[in-house]
Amino acid sequence: MACLGKTNMDEFAMGTTGENSAFGSTLNPWDPGRVPGGSSSGSAAAVAARLVPAALGTDTGGSVRMPAAYCGVSGIKPSYGLVSRRGMVAYASSLDQAGAFAASARDLRLLLRAVAGHDPQDSTSLPQAACAAAPLGKDGLQGLKIGVAPEFFAAGVEDGVAASVREAVAALEQLGMRAVEVAMPSLAHAIPAYYVIACAEASSNLARYDGLLYGSRAAADGLDATVARSRSAGFGAEVQRRIMLGTFVLSHGYVDAYYRQALKVRQLVRRDFETAFESCDLLAAPAAPTAAPPLGSFVDDPVLMYSQDLCTAPANLAGLPAIALPCAPVGGLPAGLQLIGPMLAENLLLSAGEAYQEATEHHKALPPGCEDWA
Amino acid sequence: MKLSTAQLRQLAALARLELDDGQLRALEGDFARMMAMAEQIQQAPTAGLDGLSHVHGHGLALRADEPADAGANLAAGAVAHRDGMVVVPPVID
């Protein structure tokens, strides 16, 4: 595999829109006045514009699936532990996972096969990690049950996106699968739990950036002052906000009420998924609650930006694999269907995605002025 | 919970960040909204549940207790290395 280059992204993978980069915002190839989604913004935009056939990204709370949805490409967040995290800068270690973008689910499978596998140098790498199974094909998908949880279509999900995703579920039913309703009551608490855990882990992971042995240095008078000035000069505003929140929720007197409570909510979310998968084979949901918003939509309200992760972060909390696939556009902009599977069900997700894309054309739509490889 | 500028200054010190009064005032509103979001987890029905800190439930991965030369791997991951040693900038100028 030949690597063509590095792409822009949100600083330390912290961002939903792609605007938190020291190099400036990545632009959405569909409309340069709109965000491409983050944090792996450049990877998604490069695949959407067909600058590259495929790209890697990381997904801690949706950073592959969100930009895939906004840019109209396919993206997968594998099961936690399927792909080695060695070489990645740690953001939230219990949630971080490497993922992939491509123009189709079939191409995603090729890239995932190349990068999946056990790595003894990543302590979280699964011993059985591999992705070599053959596609299930249409026959193998007959009768599979697709769970649809109303909580994934709750407030915040635009009507147009909800309709597009439901249309995609209907298309899967046409292929022989069957939709069933399931309940995921804990999803209402998933976003705050995700941000408490992610920020706590970030505040710990990024403590190494002290300007002495790690990170750039901004000299000041004395050791402590040099460390503080280096960190303030080197971290952008969003990273500083998350470090501050993470420091608070881990601090004496608050750790039980926030961090440990968030870990219990995480258990709730995992149990909801386990219960759901007792009555279905995979779950269908929006990948992003809206189409790509205009640049600057969340500048004055980071919490509003965080709320965009409501459909993606739950799979990270439970460590589950999830794939984003372009579905019917909304207002001329891409929308994303998300399929979530049980642990290590990548082949099921990719096979369903391949079947969906054989039956539909949404993944073939190109941004204005872009040409396909063929 | 809303933190005052003084409390935010103390928190910044714990986080080893140097924020001036203007930055702290600017952070006040954002942090209040972030705290309001974080507080929502108090409403979740978690009585009797254990926390889930890691989805695979295992602790640190162990390897065979055998001596190994870590030098090559260490050098490969270092920003700079020389003669098998990691080169670091001076800590005290």
Which pLDDT value is given to residue B60?
67
Distance CA A212, CA A227 (A): 7
Which pLDDT value is given to residue B82?
87
Which pLDDT value is given to residue B28?
94
Q: B9: distance to nearest CA of chain A, Å?
A: 10
B56 closest CB neighbour out of A124, A223, A266: A124
Q: Which long-range contacts (CB under 8 A, 24 or more apart) does A127-132 make?
A: A128/A344, A129/A81, A129/A82, A129/A83, A131/A78, A131/A82, A131/A346, A131/A347
Burial A69-95 (b: 16+ CB within 10 A, else e): bbbbbbbbbbbbbbbbbeebebbbbbb
Q: A170: distance to nearest CA of chain B, Å?
A: 32
Q: B65: distance to nearest CA of chain A, Å?
A: 14
Distance CA A19, CA A239 (A): 12
In a domain, B90, yes or no: no
A67 Cβ neighbours under 8 A, 6+ residues apart: A18, A36, A37, A38, A39, A40, A41, A43, A44, A45, A57, A75, A101
Cβ-defined contact of B33 to A241 (cutoff 8 Å): no
Chain A residues close to B4, C-beta within 8 Å: none
Q: A234: distance to nearest CA of chain B, Å?
A: 10
Cβ-defined contact of A231 to B17 (cutoff 8 Å): yes
Cβ-defined contact of B89 to A219 (cutoff 8 Å): no
pLDDT surpasses 80 at B77 = no
Distance CA A136, CA A143 (A): 13
pLDDT in tens, chain A (374 residues): 789 999 999 999 999 999 999 999 999 999 999 999 999 999 999 999 999 999 999 999 999 999 999 999 999 999 999 999 999 999 999 999 999 999 999 999 999 999 999 998 898 999 876 777 889 988 899 999 999 999 999 989 999 999 999 999 999 999 999 999 999 999 999 999 999 999 999 999 999 999 887 888 898 998 899 999 999 999 999 999 999 999 999 999 999 999 999 999 999 999 999 999 999 999 999 999 999 999 999 988 999 999 999 999 999 999 999 999 999 999 999 999 999 999 999 999 999 999 999 999 999 999 999 998 76
Chain B residues close to A258, C-beta within 8 Å: 38, 41
Distance CA A72, CA A75 (A): 9
Q: Would you place residue B81 in the very low, low, confident or very high pLDDT band (cuts 50, 70, 90)?
A: confident
Chain B residues close to A303, C-beta within 8 Å: 30, 33-34, 36-37
Domain boundaries, chain A: 11-364
Cβ-defined contact of A94 to B53 (cutoff 8 Å): yes
- The answer to whether A81 contacts chain B (CB < 8 Å) is yes
Burial B43-67 (b: 16+ CB within 10 A, else e): ebebeebeebeebeeeeeeeeeeee
Most B CBs within 10 Å, among A265, A309, A344, to test the B interface:
A265
Q: Would you place residue B93 in the very low, low, confident or very high pLDDT band (cuts 50, 70, 90)?
A: low
Distance CA B76, CA B56 (A): 29
- The answer to whether A88 contacts chain B (CB < 8 Å) is no
Cβ-defined contact of B51 to A266 (cutoff 8 Å): yes
CA–CA–CA angle A43, A23, A324 (5° rounding): 25
* Number of domains comprising chain B: 1
* Whether CATH 3.90.1300.10 fits A11-364: yes
Q: How many CB atoms within 10 Å of residue A270?
A: 18
Cβ-defined contact of B56 to A240 (cutoff 8 Å): no
B34 closest CB neighbour out of A247, A270, A302: A302
- Helices B5-14/A237-249 angle, 10° precision: 90
Which pTM value belongs to this model?
0.95
Which pLDDT value is given to residue B59?
66
Which pLDDT value is given to residue B92?
66
Preceding amide of A186 cis, omega within 30: no
Chain B residues close to A217, C-beta within 8 Å: 89
ipTM of the complex: 0.92
Q: Which long-range contacts (CB under 8 A, 24 or more apart) does A251-259 make?
A: A251/B11, A251/B14, A257/B42, A258/A196, A258/B38, A258/B41, A259/A196, A259/A197, A259/A200
Which pLDDT value is given to residue A233?
96
The range of the structural domain enclosing residue B9 comes to: 5-43
